[in-house]
């Protein structure tokens, strides 16, 4: 019997670019120059569900407080303070788009575990950026040698604000990337910066295939109650793709015909299968033993992905309809 993994490996490498998808938040209906900070508004309390990705959202209806993610299209790079906590310091979303996500304090973003995150665009939140640039009643002006109370803080003006992006794979293994949202530690002060442009965070540099991302802030401005710098960043164009896992597997399967018209057949072995469209939506799924047929006559023409899982591992195969 033929080994599916040889063909699958070649097809998957070619399919990676085509299958890479992104969440750009443009499909979320947000009133002009406004925001949504409570996922219950979209019908899913506790998290925003933009299948196959969910964004955590903790909303306190008593105080109107929140953490995790909010969605926004606020264009305000001028107003200082907490009332402007939903604005992008870059004025718009990435690529001059309208919508983006604002992250505050703590939370996570999770994708269905047959996918992995590959990158996202990041910039500063206006409230945080102006606080770092000018200082406020709680947080210091970056580059100063004193804190918000005017007391020397021991930094010598070498300030920084960074976020750790922590990726976790389906086995629970973790890796992380540090990203500086502001850095005033250069010997040449002209190089000091507070990030304003949209910048790509490449998650493929991690030693894991992350299906979950969490975030942790660090700042040079720390007080009795923790970090004084407003703990925000702004996200857009979160990209993801199907995981591979085919290089070292020898799964005795044949999948035919491909391209398919009416019926796709899986022959050999035992396990379970999932057929997905190019956006990650599950078309059908079930158990497989010896021979399984999948009716495809009702599907539109295009690219699909068949994922077969056994106790030996996982194979993902591109299917053309």
Residues 123-155 pLDDT 10s: 999 999 999 999 999 999 999 999 999 999 999
Residues of the chain with pLDDT under 70: 1-19, 244-252
Judgement on whether residues 150 and 234 belong to the same structural domain of the protein: yes
Question: Which of 196, 226, 242 is at the close of a domain?
Answer: 242
Residue 225 belongs to a domain: yes
Residue 16: its pLDDT value, please? 42
Do residue 71 and residue 179 come from a single domain? yes
Indicate whether 225 and 272 sit together in one domain: no
| One domain for residues 218 and 254 | no
- Proportion of the chain above pLDDT 90, given as a percent: 73
69 with 55: CB under 8 angstroms? yes
CA atoms within 13 A on the CB side of 316: 21
pLDDT at 251: 58
From 242, 265, 293, give the residue that closes a domain: 242
Same domain for 202 and 69: yes
Burial 101-140 (b: 16+ CB within 10 A, else e): bbbbeebbbbbbebbbbbbbbbbbbbbbbbbbeebbebbb
Task: Tell me the HSE value of 23 on the side-chain side, using a 13 A CA sphere.
Answer: 26
* Tally of domains in the chain: 2
Whether 253 and 209 share a structural domain: no
Residue 177 sits in the same domain as residue 257: no
Residue range(s) defining the domain that contains residue 309: 4-13+249-320
CATH number of residue 123's parent domain:
2.60.120.1350
Question: Which CATH number does the domain housing residue 267 bear?
Answer: 2.60.40.3080
Residues 186, 88: contact at Cβ < 8 Å? Answer: no
**Residue 21 falls inside a structural domain:** no
**Last residue of some domain: 242, 257, 278?**
242
Same-domain pairing of 114 and 217: yes
């Amino acid at each position: 019997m033929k080994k599916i993994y040889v063909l699958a490996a070649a097809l998957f490498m070619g399919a990676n670019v085509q299958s890479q998808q992104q969440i750009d938040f443009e499909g979320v209906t947000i009133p002009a120059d406004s925001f949504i900070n409570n996922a219950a508004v979209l019908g899913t309390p506790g998290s925003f569900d933009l299948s196959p990705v969910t964004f955590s959202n903790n909303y306190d209806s008593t105080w109107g407080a929140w953490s995790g993610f909010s969605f926004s299209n606020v264009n305000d790079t001028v107003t200082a303070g907490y009332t402007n906590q939903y604005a992008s310091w870059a004025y718009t979303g990435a690529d001059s788009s309208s919508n983006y996500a604002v992250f505050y304090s703590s939370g996570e973003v999770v994708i269905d575990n047959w996918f992995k995150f590959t990158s996202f665009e990041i910039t500063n939140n206006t409230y945080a950026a102006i606080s770092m640039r000018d200082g406020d009643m709680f947080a210091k002006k970056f580059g100063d040698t004193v804190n918000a109370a005017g007391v020397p803080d021991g930094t010598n003006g070498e300030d920084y604000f960074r976020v750790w992006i922590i990726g976790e794979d389906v086995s629970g293994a973790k890796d992380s990337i540090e990203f500086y949202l502001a850095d005033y530690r250069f010997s040449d002060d002209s190089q000091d910066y507070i990030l304003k442009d949209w910048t790509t965070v490449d998650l493929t540099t991690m030693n894991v295939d992350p299906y979950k991302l969490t975030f942790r802030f660090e700042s040079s401005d720390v007080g009795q109650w923790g970090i004084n710098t407003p703990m925000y960043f702004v996200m857009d164009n979160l990209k993801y793709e199907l995981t591979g896992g085919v290089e070292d597997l020898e799964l005795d399967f044949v999948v035919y015909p491909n391209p398919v018209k009416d019926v796709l057949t899986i022959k050999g072995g035992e396990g379970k299968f999932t057929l997905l469209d190019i956006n990650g939506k599950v078309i059908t799924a079930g158990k497989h033993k010896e021979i399984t047929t999948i009716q495809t006559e009702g599907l539109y023409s295009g690219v699909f992905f068949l994922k077969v899982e056994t106790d030996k591992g996982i194979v993902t195969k591109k299917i053309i309809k």
